[in-house]
């Protein structure tokens, strides 16, 4: 069982997360074309390519700094609504690791909870509005319910929660963002931002499962 | 699957960067690019003026960055294609246009723009720079008047920039400029129709699917859903549908003076636009509404989307004054006009 992940591993993990988003650009594009304007995939790719670059070049010393660095790169390079909310997800969530030398089960749950609150506040949304929050919130609950120090189990619970959240967004009506004018026509399609969260947490789970 | 549209480009990832360089050169020295940023500012900015910063996603040229100049925007923050500019782009652009008297942010009402501009406004306020925000929410298609805060900003932007640019040049306080901006925003209404989709260069895909014999009334500037998807009909029928919705929304009434703007969404011919203008003028004449100024042209595009949008703004003497101030930019130039 692994109960701690230090910043060196964390850097490698977020490189894999970035690569997973970059590899899924077409999935995100098609999901966004269905209910939005189709730029989510290329925006996320731009942001995570910038994140990858800085993770490879910058001398990062703490877990908090890893997440914060990724968030700043995304905020600055992604653009659109996605840049702010995904930047906020990483930058605000990073505060859960301040003064902690490693990721543990408990502070990772806190990371998801803090990130959820910050994204919801920035976007002016709650759960149920067909947004990325509908993937973060169930991921946080699921990770908390796992109630273990085993990081691989916590990450796996978070990823499962996010995936279930994506499924649930299909039945939701969008009330924010460019998709809101679709109204009931948005039913049946998953939210692209929620899919991105599920890809991010899924890549973290894969990384942790190999430790 | 539709084939990838032909576009005259280099590396699709560099479209915004290369477009901005070309845009700066097209302004013959009147604007400059902030080094390393997707933002442009006037080179002839006077001291001690209220600043007007505009901006939004690229790909809608000439808006927004084509509307920077005297009596127009003082600077523009440019996003990627159809995506809002980032907080740091907006922040740097705002710092570059600030002349000690505060900044008005003017942009279209979209979640991405709202969040990014608000974020930048918070950073500026930490620096002690006063920022006020007016969002253009003129598209009557998707939401009823009581949900006007949900409405998108479309070609009302053009008249708003023209008027706010003039107000920011002549009025001495941010509060006064904001007052004029809110008055103009409250009196502008728009709606569009799409007959075929535009595509994002980097994906090569149209932003939505529309059958060959279909049109969408009220479609948004990024292909967001409108009010009705229907079979293709005549220019007069489409104009009637759009005008009915716009006129009843404010509502515009007999003896009102208005500015009328008919905008090409990208691939529609001037011929079609003029045929639409003919019908719109018949409708306005019947309602006894006076057209003070007419603008027929290309201001807010959605790449190669075909279709048009119509904007009406009810004018009082103050709005007429700012609308008529001379302006020079690649998006809109305005000579000294008079009705004498």
List all residues 6 or more positions away from B126 whose beta carbon is below 8 Å from its beta carbon.
Answer: none
Q: What's residue B34's pLDDT?
A: 98
pLDDT band at B203 (very low <50, low <70, confident <90, very high): confident
Q: How does DSSP assign A112-135, residue by residue?
A: HHHHHHHHHHHHT--TTSSSTHHH
Give the mean pLDDT of B232-240: 97
Q: Taking the alpha carbons of B61, B206, B57, A75 in that order, is the dihedral positive or negative?
A: negative
Which tens digits make up the pLDDT trace of B260-294?
Answer: 999 999 999 999 999 999 999 999 999 999 999 99
Q: Which residues of A touch B79 (CB under 8 A)?
A: 79-80
Contact B296, B279 (CB under 8 A): no
CA distance B198 to B212: 14
Please tell me which of the candidates A38, A82, A182 has its beta carbon nearest to residue B225. A182
Q: Which residues of A touch B81 (CB under 8 A)?
A: 39, 42
Q: Best of B84, B265, B303 to disrupt the A interface by mutation (most A CBs within 10 Å)?
A: B84
Q: Under CATH, which architecture does the A5-209 domain have?
A: Alpha Horseshoe (1.25)
Interchain CB distance below 8 Å, B80 and A80 = yes
Task: Name which residue leads in pLDDT, A63 or B210.
Answer: A63
Give the mean pLDDT of B228-256: 96
Backbone φ and ψ of A171, nearest 5° = -90, 0
Beta-bridge partners for A3: none
Q: What's residue A128's pLDDT?
A: 96
Q: Best of A44, A71, A79 to disrupt the B interface by mutation (most B CBs within 10 Å)?
A: A79
- Cα of A148 to nearest chain B Cα, Å: 36
Q: Which residues of A touch B57 (CB under 8 A)?
A: 79-80
The tens-digit pLDDT sequence of chain A (211 residues) is: 899 999 999 999 999 999 999 999 999 999 998 988 888 999 999 999 999 999 999 999 999 999 999 999 999 999 899 999 999 999 999 999 999 999 999 999 999 999 999 999 999 999 999 999 999 999 999 999 999 999 999 999 999 999 999 999 999 999 888 788 788 889 999 999 999 999 999 999 999 999 8
CA distance A154 to A209: 10
Catalytic site positions of B: 60, 222
pLDDT band at B5 (very low <50, low <70, confident <90, very high): confident
Q: What's residue B2's pLDDT?
A: 55
**B170 at A interface, C-beta within 8 A:** no
Neighbours of A154 (CB within 10 A): 28
> What SS3 state is found at A46?
helix
Interchain CB distance below 8 Å, B112 and A180 = no
Interchain CB distance below 8 Å, B115 and A85 = yes
Residue boundaries of the structural domains of chain A: 5-209
Interchain CB distance below 8 Å, A39 and B85 = no
Q: What is the largest CA-CA distance in chain B?
A: 56
Which tens digits make up the pLDDT trace of B110-136?
Answer: 999 999 999 999 999 999 999 999 999
Chain B residues 198-227 with a CB less than 8 Å from chain A = 200, 202-203, 205, 207-208, 220, 222-226
Question: Mean pLDDT over all residues of chain B?
Answer: 94
Q: What's residue B340's pLDDT?
A: 45
pLDDT band at B339 (very low <50, low <70, confident <90, very high): low
State how far the alpha carbon of A207 is from the alpha carbons of A68, A105, A138, A202, in Å.
19, 15, 21, 9
CA distance B87 to A80: 10
Which tens digits make up the pLDDT trace of B76-96?
Answer: 999 999 999 999 999 999 999
Residue boundaries of the structural domains of chain B: 14-186, 188-324
> What SS3 state is found at A62?
coil
Neighbours of B57 (CB within 10 A): 27
Which residue has 């995939």 as its token pair? A41
Contact A81, A123 (CB under 8 A): yes
Chain A residues 14-33 with a CB less than 8 Å from chain B = 29, 33
Name the helix (H) or strand (E) containing B108: strand B103-108
**B171 at A interface, C-beta within 8 A:** no
Domain B188-324 matching CATH 3.30.1180.20: the answer reads: yes
> What SS3 state is found at A49?
helix
CA distance A104 to A87: 22
CA distance B43 to A13: 46
Chain B residues 86-115 with a CB less than 8 Å from chain A = 86-88, 110-112, 115
Q: Taking the alpha carbons of B145, B150, B155, B156 in that order, is the dihedral positive or negative?
A: positive
State how far the alpha carbon of B254 is from the alpha carbons of A184, B251, B294, in Å.
37, 10, 18
Percent of chain B with pLDDT over 70: 98
CA distance B39 to A16: 32
Q: Under CATH, which architecture does the B14-186 domain have?
A: 3-Layer(aba) Sandwich (3.40)
Q: Taking the alpha carbons of B147, B149, B150, B155 in that order, is the dihedral positive or negative?
A: positive
Which tens digits make up the pLDDT trace of B162-187?
Answer: 999 999 999 999 999 999 999 999 99
pLDDT band at B207 (very low <50, low <70, confident <90, very high): confident
Q: What is the ipTM of this complex?
A: 0.84
Contact B192, B218 (CB under 8 A): yes
- Cα of B323 to nearest chain A Cα, Å: 30
Position B1 pLDDT exceeds 60: no
Interchain CB distance below 8 Å, A75 and B80 = no
**A77 at B interface, C-beta within 8 A:** yes
Q: What's residue B336's pLDDT?
A: 62
Please tell me which of the candidates A38, A43, A85 has its beta carbon nearest to residue B205. A38
Q: What's residue B279's pLDDT?
A: 98
Instruction: Give first-to-last CA distance, chain A, whole Å.
Output: 9
Q: What is the DSSP letter of A153?
A: H
């Amino acid at each position: 069982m692994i109960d701690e992940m230090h910043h060196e591993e964390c850097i490698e993990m977020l490189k894999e997360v970035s690569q997973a988003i970059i590899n899924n650009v077409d999935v995100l594009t098609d999901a966004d074309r269905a209910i939005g304007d189709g730029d989510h995939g290329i925006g996320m790719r731009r942001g995570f390519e910038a994140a990858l670059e800085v993770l490879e070049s910058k001398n990062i010393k703490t877990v908090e700094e890893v997440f914060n660095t990724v968030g700043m790169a995304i905020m600055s390079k992604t653009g659109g609504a996605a840049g702010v909310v995904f930047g906020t997800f990483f930058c605000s969530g990073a505060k859960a690791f301040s003064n902690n030398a490693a990721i543990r089960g408990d502070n990772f749950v806190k990371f998801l909870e803090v990130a959820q609150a910050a994204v919801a506040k920035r976007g002016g949304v709650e759960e149920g509005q067909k947004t990325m929050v509908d993937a973060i919130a169930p991921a946080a609950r699921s990770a908390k319910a796992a109630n273990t120090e085993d990081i691989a189990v916590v990450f796996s619970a978070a990823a499962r929660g996010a995936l279930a959240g994506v499924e649930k967004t299909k039945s939701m009506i969008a009330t924010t963002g460019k998709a809101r004018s679709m109204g009931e026509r948005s039913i049946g399609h998953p939210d692209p931002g929620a899919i991105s969260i599920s890809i991010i947490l899924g890549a973290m789970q894969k990384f942790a499962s190999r430790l | 699957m539709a084939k990838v549209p032909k576009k005259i480009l280099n590396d699709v990832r560099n479209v915004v960067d290369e477009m901005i360089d070309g845009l700066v050169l097209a302004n013959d020295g009147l604007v400059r690019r902030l080094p390393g940023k997707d933002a442009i500012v006037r080179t002839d900015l006077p001291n001690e003026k209220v600043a007007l910063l505009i901006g939004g996603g690229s790909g809608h040229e000439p808006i927004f960055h084509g509307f920077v100049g005297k009596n127009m925007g003082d600077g523009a923050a440019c996003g990627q294609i159809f995506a809002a500019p980032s907080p740091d782009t907006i922040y740097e652009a705002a710092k570059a246009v600030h002349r000690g008297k505060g900044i008005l942010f003017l942009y279209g009402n979209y979640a991405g723009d709202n969040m990014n501009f608000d974020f930048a406004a918070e950073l500026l306020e930490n620096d002690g720079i006063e920022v006020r925000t007016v969002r253009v929410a003129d598209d009557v298609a998707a939401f009823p008047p009581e949900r006007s805060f949900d409405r998108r900003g479309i070609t009302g932007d053009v008249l708003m920039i023209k008027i706010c640019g003039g107000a920011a040049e002549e009025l001495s306080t941010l509060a006064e400029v904001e007052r004029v901006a809110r008055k103009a925003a409250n009196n502008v209404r728009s709606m569009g129709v799409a007959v075929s989709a535009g595509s994002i260069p980097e994906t090569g895909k149209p932003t939505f699917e529309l059958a060959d014999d279909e049109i969408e009334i009220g479609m948004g500037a990024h292909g967001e859903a409108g009010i009705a998807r229907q079979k293709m009909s005549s220019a007069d029928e489409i104009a009637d549908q759009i005008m009915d919705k716009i006129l009843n929304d404010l509502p515009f009434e007999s003896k009102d003076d208005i500015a009328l703007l008919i905008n090409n969404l990208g691939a529609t011919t001037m011929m079609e636009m003029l045929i639409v203008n003919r019908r719109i003028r018949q409708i306005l004449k019947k309602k006894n509404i006076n057209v003070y100024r007419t603008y027929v042209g290309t201001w807010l595009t959605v790449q190669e989307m075909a279709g048009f949008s119509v904007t009406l703004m009810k004018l009082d003497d103050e709005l007429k004054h700012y609308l008529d101030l001379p302006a020079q930019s690649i998006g809109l130039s305005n000579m000294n006009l008079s009705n004498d």
